[in-house]
Amino acid sequence: MKALIMIGLLSIYGLGYNVLPKENLAKSFLMDTLPVPREIPNLLFYLQRDPDSNTICYTLNLDKNGLLNEKDPVKIFWVRYAGDGSRKELNYLQKKYAYGITVKADGKDHFEIKSVAYPRRTLHLKKNDSNKYQVRTTINDKECALQRVFIRITGGTPISPKVEYIELQGTDYTTGKMVVERVKV
C-alpha cells in the first residue's frame, strides 16, 4: 500500500510519470529546484539532468570582434552548480557520446544542429526577427525558441544511464507562450 501511495505522489509531482497536462509539465517538482543560468553571455539554451544541479550551457561562439565563428558556431560547457559554480569544458567522452552536437551549415546565418546522443530531433540555429541568433525546434507541433532541456535519468551507470524521458521547453515563436514537450525514450 505504501508503494502505491508513493507512486501516486511521484506521479502528481511529475517525477517520472507523464500524468500532468502538457501545459503543466514545466511545473514538475524536481525541475523547479534546479538553478537557472542567468549570467551566461550569448546563452542559446541549457541542459540539466539527474542526479545533480550541474548544467550544460550551449552558447554562441563569437570571435574577438563579436562575429559568429561559422566553422564552430556553438560553444558548450558545464556550470558546476553542485560545486563552486565554476565553468568547465566537456571532456572527450561527453562531447562524443552524451552532450556534444554536430553542426552543418544550411544557408546564410542558418545551421542545422543535432545532439550526438539524440539525433532524431533537429535544431536550427538562425537569426530571429530582431537579427539575434536563437535555436529553434518544433515543440508540441509549434515552432519554438528552445530554452531548456531536462533529461530524466532513472538508473543505469554513468557510462550507460537509463533515460526515462527528455523534456523540451521553449517559447512559441508566434505567441510568445511557454511550450513544453516530454519525449519518452
In one-letter notation, the amino acid at residue 7 is I
Could you tell me if residue 127 is inside a domain?
yes
129 lies in a domain?
Answer: yes
Is 15 within the bounds of a domain?
Answer: no
Q: Please tell me whether the overall predicted TM-score, pTM, comes out greater than 0.75 for this model.
A: yes
- 57 occurs within a structural domain: yes
Query: What's the domain range around 70?
Result: 22-184
Instruction: Output the tens digit of pLDDT for each of the chain's 185 residues.
Output: 333 222 232 222 232 223 333 444 444 545 678 999 999 999 999 999 988 999 999 999 999 999 999 999 999 999 999 999 999 999 999 999 999 999 999 988 999 999 999 999 999 999 999 999 999 999 999 999 999 999 999 999 888 889 999 999 999 999 999 999 999 98
- CA 104 to each of CA 22, 47, 112, 115, 174: distance values in angstroms, whole numbers, following the listed order: 32, 21, 5, 12, 26
Contact predicate 58/78, CB 8 Å: no
Residue 179 included in any domain: yes
> How far is the C-alpha of 18 from the C-alpha of 16, rounded, in Å?
6
Q: Is residue 177 part of a domain?
A: yes
Name the amino acid, one letter, at 181: E
Q: 162: helix, coil or strand?
A: strand
Total domain count, the chain: 1
Grid coordinates representing 157 are: 551507470
Q: Which residues contact 164 (CB under 8 A, 6 or more apart)?
A: 16, 152, 153, 154, 184, 185
